[in-house]
Amino acid sequence: MVERIPSIVVFGITGSGKSTLSNTLIGSENAFKESDEVESQTMETKGITGIFDNQPTFVIDTPGIHDTSGLDTPHLVEMAQYIKSHKEVQAFVIVISYFNKRLDEGIKRLFQLFSNMYPNKKWYHNIAVVWSFYLSNFNQKIVEQEPKREGFKRFIKKYIVPNISDDELNNIPQYFIDSIEAREEGNRSREELKHLIAWVSQLNTLQYNFGEIQEVNAEVKSREEELKTEVINEKIILNIKTITKASFQREKLTMYNGEISYTDWTEIPGSRNEIKETLPIAPVGKPTIEKRNRIENEETRRNVTGKRDVGNRKYVIFGPRKKVEYGHYLTITHTIYEERTCQPMNDGTIKYGEWIEKSRTTKRKIVNFGV
């Protein structure tokens, strides 16, 4: 018995790393044209036999799709006919960038394509997901696999196969791989890719499981442009509010089977507009208390207690005899303690309240003197 070569069809959104994975699976770096651009570099369906980890492999690379375009009818027909002519094909591998924030319309259309190719068949038994750009040295606190796995399961059940069982969902393998890293020995990406090939190896062919590919058609019957304007930024500096608005557009697509599909909303270049609004002056935050001490008045009283002759002292003073005047000053100070509120306002000013007397004191101070 001749051992079957693992045979895979690789699908993906443009820029997801689809062709890079295809090259790695056949042990090449440039057999399939790679690109990070928004526009697909793979314009035709093509299969190549190669070797990965001493294992012969056969990989079919397909044109990538993008939310705003999608596979047109000629590409789709060519792809279906190519796969149909290679009866040894065993699996579909869907490549999704790990850094996709969500599973979008393009990915939804890919899975709908499989439903069209094999209507009323459990084609999802022969699909696997590769989350691309997942490096081994990523900090595990930054990247986690489980949320992606669960998100994919919810996506399939909600949008593609509502009646799929939990066991069937759990049996769809998901791999986390960086295709460039997998070209070297001794890393997690390479081990993941080995597991993927091993999984494909034990599958029956698509034709054996599901029969011939049915006639498919991705023709768009009609396109309708939709517009909307949204606030994309809002900021307030003092009492000036600045609102930034932009206009967005998308297409409503009516497919060949009557199904309605939408492209993603995209911002119309040059549509941004800033609107400034002066807000009414109003308090901001809690008021604070300012305190002060204020001297209401101060008076000085002089009290001379008498005179005496210096000559009466018991020591000799040379020079003429003189009189000394002695006594004290009495200083009386009246102080008032006051408070007022300070309320910050949204225009950068402060609104002050009236000074309110809280208490008062009277202090007396005696200063002795002698002349």
Per-residue pLDDT tens over the stretch 199-234: 999 999 998 898 888 766 656 667 889 999 999 999
Distance CA(268)–CA(271), nearest Å, equals 6
Calpha distance 71→63 (Å, rounded): 8
- Do residues 69 and 177 share a domain? yes
Residue 86 in this model has a pLDDT that exceeds 80? yes
The label of the residue with tokens 């796969």 reads 83
Is residue 2 in a domain?
A: no
Does residue 214 sit in the same domain as residue 317? no
In a domain, 156, yes or no: yes
pLDDT at 262: 80
User: Is residue 91 located within the same domain as residue 175?
Assistant: yes
Q: Does 99 score more than 80 pLDDT?
A: yes
For residue 113, which phi and psi values (nearest 5 degrees)? -60, -45
208 part of a folded domain:
yes
Residue pLDDT, tens place only, 175-207: 999 999 999 998 999 999 999 999 999 999 998
Whether 257 and 227 map to the same domain: the answer is yes
Average model confidence (pLDDT) across the chain: 82
Compute the distance between CA of residue 241 and CA of residue 230 in angstroms, rounded to an integer.
16
* pLDDT higher at 83 or 310: 83
DSSP H or E segment with residue 16: none
Q: Quick one: average pLDDT of 138-154?
A: 81
The residue out of 254, 278, 302 marking a domain boundary is 278
Secondary structure of residue 246 in the 3-state scheme: strand
What's the pLDDT score for residue 160?
Answer: 86
The helix/strand/coil state of 3 is coil
> What are the φ/ψ torsions at residue 333 (nearest 5 degrees)?
-120, 125
Domain tally, the chain: 3
Nearest-5° angle of CA 21, CA 25, CA 31?
75
User: Could you tell me if residue 207 is inside a domain?
Assistant: yes
Same domain, yes or no: 160 and 299: no
For 322-356, how does the pLDDT look when each residue is reduced to its tens digit (9 = 90+)? 555 566 777 888 899 999 999 999 999 999 999 99
In a domain, 246, yes or no: yes
pLDDT at 67 over 60: no
**Residues 97 and 55 placed together within one structural domain of the fold:** yes
Same-domain status, 158 and 269 = no
Structure tokens at 169: 């969902």
Same domain, 155 and 242: no
Average pLDDT score over residue span 57-70: 73
Least reliable range by pLDDT among 50-54, 72-76, 237-241, 357-361: 72-76
Angstrom distances, CA of residue 206 to CA of 9, 79, 158, 167, 268 = 11, 15, 24, 20, 43
Do 250 and 212 share a structural domain? Answer: no
Domain of 229?
Answer: 221-278
Band of residue 300 on the pLDDT scale cut at 50, 70, 90: confident
**How many angstroms separate the CA atoms of 347 and 281, rounded?**
6
Count of CB atoms situated within 10 Å of the CB of 350: 12
Whole-number pLDDT of residue 269? 93
Backbone angles phi, psi at 22, to 5 degrees: -60, -45
Statement to judge: residues 214 and 240 lie in one domain: no
